[in-house]
């Protein structure tokens, strides 16, 4: 909608998230001419800054190759306002600034107007800023959208309190809870794959699928974020949100339509059928420094308490208790300071139910979310040539090979575009969030009250002892022969 008179206020504009994600994403949309013609972006934060300092800050994560004239044109539509997060007058000034800008953009009576409030803020000030917006900035004569980022509480109780407080200020359809995994290309692709191809949906049940693994690996530790991380741990940081969101899209039934509420209804329906995770179904780890001392351990981080038992690695088995999935284990795995960067969804099919060919390996559908997007199906063929043996091969779609010059936008650009379009499909609804916490809270509390000590693993390794055996023992995963190896291809 190119003619909507649009104001975007980025709260926390001097912070990390704003400079690393929000502003680069806004600039990307600006370059692609996807921001409405009349758009004004106001950064708001406590720090006093000159325009110059502000401009330097918000462009510090732009690419060196970004043309200077485009950057300059983008900065023309940006400005900075400094103010406290709890002072009425400061927010009244912000409101005046918005009004002044709208007049400067030739506001007409008949204009459709949108105000987007992007809270790139720590949760401790969510409610105070929300209250200020509601009391001093909110404009009932236009559309208002509030964008918030995790952490949404740290367990079911605290999340409900936060939801209630925010729900008292804004209507659910004004709230956009970001889970940036929902903006990733391959995650958005799941619905298309499943519901636009007859052969996937046909086998998408416990009758054909043996187990599913959703894996998140990062090759670096907490590096400077230890203070935040230690309060949360890997389960809250990555699993309760990103991995569970992905799981719900893989497991959901076909929605009635592509309307956002139909999609979110189906995701929530799946979450409702997931049983709370048991401690016995969990493997926990924490990284230690490398033997040669080149990489630090988690507890060597100055911002982490020396006796911390916060997990930086976890594997959990989940069960979706419905007719489609009963008996199929879902393993979610996540870890920091591992041997590689990777996010993969691996769906392993059951053994072939005939004995024509004995000892077959299993088919797998593998969706690689990052780094190199790909879809592949491990497929058995006759070994080519005179041999009559069988061989493991693959039907593969490597995005960067198949789509020349492909530039996959950052998840934040996709999601902000959705906010501009008023599309909630890729945002988390409050009942979804509630279910996600219901699934993890008993486990998190048990880990904390019983002080469960995670197993050590070396920085840069595959994880703690048992990582590879866990999916086999707990979920019936059959590994493919070690000789078989396939990597997504580049251009």
- Which residues does the annotation mark as catalytic? 242
Give the residue with the Cβ less far from ligand BG6, 180 or 267: 180
Task: For the CB of residue 238, give the shortest distance to ligand BG6 in the complex, in Å.
Answer: 6
Task: For the CB of residue 218, give the shortest distance to ligand BG6 in the complex, in Å.
Answer: 6
Task: For the CB of residue 36, give the shortest distance to ligand BG6 in the complex, in Å.
Answer: 27
- What is the SS3 assignment for 387? coil
Give the residue with the Cβ less far from ligand BG6, 180 or 362: 180
Contacts with ligand BG6 in 285-314 (CB under 6 A)? none
Give the residue with the Cβ less far from ligand BG6, 219 or 466: 219
Give the residue with the Cβ less far from ligand BG6, 218 or 431: 218
Q: Cα–Cα distances in Å, from 441 out to 106, 154, 276, 455?
A: 51, 9, 8, 21
- What is the SS3 assignment for 11? strand
| Contact by Cβ (8 Å): 374, 398 | yes
| Contact by Cβ (8 Å): 382, 390 | yes
Dihedral sign of CA atoms 465, 466, 468, 469 in order: positive
Element (H, E) at 90: helix 88-104
Q: Which two tokens stand for residue 366?
A: 């593998």
Task: For the CB of residue 104, give the shortest distance to ligand BG6 in the complex, in Å.
Answer: 36
From CA 415, how far away is CA 21, in angstroms rounded? 11
Task: For the CB of residue 217, give the shortest distance to ligand BG6 in the complex, in Å.
Answer: 10
Question: Residue 156: which residues within 8 A CB-CB, separation 6 or more?
Answer: 434, 437, 438, 441
Task: For the CB of residue 292, give the shortest distance to ligand BG6 in the complex, in Å.
Answer: 25
Dihedral sign of CA atoms 298, 303, 308, 310 in order: negative
Question: Residue 126: which residues within 8 A CB-CB, separation 6 or more?
Answer: 119, 148, 162, 165, 166
Q: Where are the alpha helices (DSSP H) in 256-398?
A: 260-272
Task: For the CB of residue 151, give the shortest distance to ligand BG6 in the complex, in Å.
Answer: 9
Based on the shown chain and the rule CB under 6 A, indicate whether residue 373 belongs to the binding site for ligand BG6.
no
Q: Where are the alpha helices (DSSP H) in 133-238?
A: 156-167, 185-196, 198-202, 226-234
Based on the shown chain and the rule CB under 6 A, indicate whether residue 90 belongs to the binding site for ligand BG6.
no
Give the residue with the Cβ less far from ligand BG6, 116 or 238: 238
**Per-residue contact flags (x/-) with ligand BG6 for residues 428 to 457, judged by CB under 6 A:** ------------------------------
**Per-residue contact flags (x/-) with ligand BG6 for residues 225 to 244, judged by CB under 6 A:** ------------xx------
From CA 430, how far away is CA 436, in angstroms rounded? 10
Give the residue with the Cβ less far from ligand BG6, 237 or 373: 237
CB-side exposure of 242: number of CA atoms within 13 Å? 23
Based on the shown chain and the rule CB under 6 A, indicate whether residue 218 belongs to the binding site for ligand BG6.
yes
Give the residue with the Cβ less far from ligand BG6, 17 or 137: 17
Angle of helix 23-31 relative to helix 411-421, nearest 10 degrees, comes to: 70
- Which parts of this chain interact with ligand BG6 (CB under 6 A)? 180, 218, 237-238
């Amino acid at each position: 909608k190119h003619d909507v008179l649009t104001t975007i206020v980025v709260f926390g504009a001097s912070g990390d998230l704003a400079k690393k994600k929000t502003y680069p994403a806004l600039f990307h949309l600006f370059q692609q001419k996807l921001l409405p013609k009349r758009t004004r972006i106001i950064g708001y934060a406590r720090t006093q800054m000159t325009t110059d300092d502000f401009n330097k800050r918000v462009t510090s994560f732009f690419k060196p190759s970004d043309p200077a004239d485009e950057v300059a044109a983008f900065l023309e539509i940006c400005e900075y306002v400094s103010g406290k997060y709890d002072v009425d007058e400061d927010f009244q000034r912000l409101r005046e600034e918005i009004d002044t800008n709208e007049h400067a953009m030739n506001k007409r009576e008949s204009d459709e107007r949108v105000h987007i409030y992007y809270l790139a803020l720590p949760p401790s000030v969510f409610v105070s800023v929300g209250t200020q917006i509601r009391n001093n900035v909110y404009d009932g004569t236009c559309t208002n959208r509030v964008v918030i980022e995790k952490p949404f509480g740290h367990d079911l109780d605290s999340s409900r309190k936060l939801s209630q407080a925010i729900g008292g200020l804004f209507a659910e359809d004004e709230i956009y809870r970001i889970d940036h995994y929902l903006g990733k290309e391959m995650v958005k692709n799941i619905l298309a794959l499943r519901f636009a191809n007859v052969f996937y949906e046909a086998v998408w049940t416990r009758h054909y699928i043996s187990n599913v693994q959703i894996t998140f690996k990062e090759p670096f530790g907490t590096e400077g974020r230890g203070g935040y991380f230690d309060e949360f741990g890997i389960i809250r940081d990555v699993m309760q949100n990103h991995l569970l969101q992905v799981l719900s899209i893989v497991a959901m039934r076909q929605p009635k339509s592509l309307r956002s509420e139909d999609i979110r209804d189906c995701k929530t329906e799946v979450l409702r059928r997931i049983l709370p995770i048991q401690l016995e179904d969990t493997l926990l780890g924490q990284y230690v420094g490398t033997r040669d001392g080149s990489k630090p351990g988690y507890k060597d981080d100055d911002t982490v308490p020396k006796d911390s038992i916060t997990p930086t690695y976890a594997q959990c088995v989940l069960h979706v208790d419905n007719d489609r999935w009963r008996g199929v284990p879902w393993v979610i795995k996540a870890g920091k300071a591992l041997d590689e960067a990777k996010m993969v969804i691996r769906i392993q099919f059951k053994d072939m139910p005939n004995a024509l060919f004995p000892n077959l390996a299993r088919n797998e559908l593998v969706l690689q979310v990052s780094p190199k997007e790909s879809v592949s199906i491990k497929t058995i063929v006759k070994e080519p040539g005179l041999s009559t043996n069988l061989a493991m091969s693959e039907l593969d779609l490597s995005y960067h090979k198949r789509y020349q010059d492909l530039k996959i936008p950052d998840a934040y650009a996709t999601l902000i575009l959705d906010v501009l379009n008023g599309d909630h499909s890729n945002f988390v609804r409050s009942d979804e969030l509630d279910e996600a916490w219901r699934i993890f809270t008993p486990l998190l509390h048990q880990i904390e009250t019983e002080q469960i000590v995670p197993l050590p693993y070396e920085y840069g390794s595959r994880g703690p002892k048992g990582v590879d055996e866990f999916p086999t023992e707990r979920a019936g995963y059959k590994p493919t022969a070690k000789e078989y190896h396939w990597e997504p291809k580049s251009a």
